[in-house]
Chain A
Amino acid sequence: MKKVLVLGASGNIAPYVTPDLEKDYDLYLSDIVPHPDGKPIINVDITSYSEVLEVCRGMDAIINFAVLRDDPVVSFDVSTKGAYHVMKAAAELGIKKVVHTGPQLVRNAYDHEFGISDPPLAPGVGYYGITKYLSMEICEIFSRTYDIQTVCFLFNGLGAKPTEHVTQGDFPPFTVVWEDLQHACRLALEIESVPGNFQSFNLLSYFTQGKYQVEKAKRMLGFTPMGGLEDYFRRVTNST
């Protein structure tokens, strides 16, 4: 089994993804806080290069879920400098696969458009957006130089798939359900290479609004969202 380091394993994303991945990958969960489900955690502060380098030894791949969203100092330390440490360690140790994540960075620029699939990113100067955007640039620079295959997933919201019918409510924009993110992470861990060694992909699970799309993830990664989730939001009519 591939050894995969998961940084930010106790955060808002990883605990919903790793239970599925651990069936097929030898996961090493790391964070600076305990895991919400009590799983063993390797204490790693991503702002410390020596700690990142040490925990990366022997790994086949790294998934970086670490993020600090809106702080004038720590957002830069965790999201930007942390990504620098991850990519520097990957380069130093010869690790050839990194999975990175970040927020959608397009809604500010395109939210009044339709048929949008992976346009240029428009991060702005908010701490969350700019620090993650800079982290992606760092990932791309290292990936190009050291032949590291890096896949970056961008999304707005994450959550469970609906389990019951929703009345008088629309589905959330740019939101991916856990199962689709798990599927995407598997694809990222298995894909041999991506063009330019670095690619970012919008991820979402609801499509019938005709607004945001995931054509690039479908085309390059083979991403096949589970689909049909919009049916939970259908309005009841006389014919249904």
Chain B
Amino acid sequence: MNILITGASSQLAQAIATELKDDHSVRLMDSVPVDVAEGCDFIQGNILDPDDSWDAVRGIDTLIHTGEPPTDLPSDELKREQMLLDLATRGTHVLFSAGVEAGIKKFICASTLSIFNNYPDDVYITELWKPLPSPEIVEMTKYLGELTAREFARDHLVTATGLRLGELVLEEAVQGETPNLAWLDIRDAASAFRCVLNRDSSNSAEWTRRWAVYHICADIPNPKFLIDQARGIGYQPTHDFQSLYLNPSG
């Protein structure tokens, strides 16, 4: 399968590439130069530019849009907010439009579980709950990007999947810290993208089958975020932060 992964400079994109590169042909894209893993291709381009997006999606079977911003965001706070908003909304639209035009049938879009932070911790959150994002720019724009991606499944015969990821960490890097209900080891996050690769509802007459969303986080004791839906597509996280729960004092 030929796979395009956006946001190449991000840890997430590189983890996904590492996860998939041995079994698939992987191309990474970013607006800044990036050294990618051996065996992967790289294309430099801005998703806001229709020509760049078109060049990136040619020959691709599955588009993985990490929604991760480039490393050269403006330092000015307002300009940074505007850029993130632009990338998440117009950027996703330009990229997915190019993908549809190029005949891509599978789209995967990363979102975030932080859109449920406004709920108290004494509830079980599943994909049935209404997101309540805050205006914090990264959180809000991830959600807007997810909504933009969803609409492509409504209007086109494509399979689009939203993966709402927990807070990305490396298990070994958070030893000694107080466990977070949303923690997700970045390697498990990458494995979730693999699980979605075979989801194919592109020919379904019902758009609600063409679109799906899954919550992705660690398998921890007494979870707030239930991941049963993701287990149904084969998600089996291996980093469970067990030592922190067995030995809370670290």
* Chain A interface residues (CB < 8 Å from chain B): 49, 72-73, 76, 80-81, 84, 87-88, 91, 122-125, 130-131, 133-134, 137-138, 141-142, 144-146
Q: Is B152 an interface residue (CB 8 A)?
A: yes
Among B78, B90, B94, B154, contact of A49 (Cβ-Cβ < 8 Å) = B78
Q: Please report whether the interface of chain B is mostly helix, strand, loop or mixed according to DSSP.
A: helix
CB distance from B132 to the nearest CB of A (A): 7
Cβ contact within 8 Å between B89 and A141: no
**How many B residues, CB 8 Å from partner?**
27
Cβ contact within 8 Å between B133 and A76: no
Cβ contact within 8 Å between A133 and B140: no
Cβ contact within 8 Å between B78 and A72: no
Cβ contact within 8 Å between A141 and B140: yes
Cβ contact within 8 Å between B86 and A145: no
A73 vs B85: C-alpha distance when bound (angstroms): 13
Cβ contact within 8 Å between B97 and A145: no
Bitwise, B48-63 to A at CB < 8 A (1) or not (0) is: 0010000000000000
- Selected A-B contacts with CB under 8 Å, 8 pairs: A49-B78, A76-B89, A80-B90, A88-B135, A122-B154, A137-B144, A138-B140, A146-B135
A49 vs B90: C-alpha distance when bound (angstroms): 18
Q: Is B225 an interface residue (CB 8 A)?
A: no
Given A125-B97, A137-B144, the answer on whether A81 and B85 have CB atoms closer than 8 Å is: yes
Bitwise, B85-100 to A at CB < 8 A (1) or not (0) is: 1100110011011000
Q: Is B243 an interface residue (CB 8 A)?
A: no
Q: Is B204 an interface residue (CB 8 A)?
A: no
Interface residues of B in 122-138 (CB under 8 A from A): 132-135
Residues of chain B with a CB closer than 8 A to A133's CB: 147, 151
CB distance from B143 to the nearest CB of A (A): 7
Cβ contact within 8 Å between B144 and A81: no
CB distance from B177 to the nearest CB of A (A): 28
Cβ contact within 8 Å between B148 and A134: yes
Cβ contact within 8 Å between B93 and A130: yes
Cβ contact within 8 Å between B134 and A141: yes
CB distance from A121 to the nearest CB of B (A): 10
A80 vs B145: C-alpha distance when bound (angstroms): 12
Q: Is B242 an interface residue (CB 8 A)?
A: no
CB distance from B209 to the nearest CB of A (A): 15
Q: Is B38 an interface residue (CB 8 A)?
A: no
Cβ contact within 8 Å between B132 and A144: yes
Residues of chain A with a CB closer than 8 A to B147's CB: 133-134, 137
Residue of A nearest to B156 (CB): A125
Given A125-B97, A144-B132, the answer on whether A130 and B148 have CB atoms closer than 8 Å is: yes
Residues of chain B with a CB closer than 8 A to A124's CB: 151, 154-155
Residues of chain B with a CB closer than 8 A to A123's CB: 151
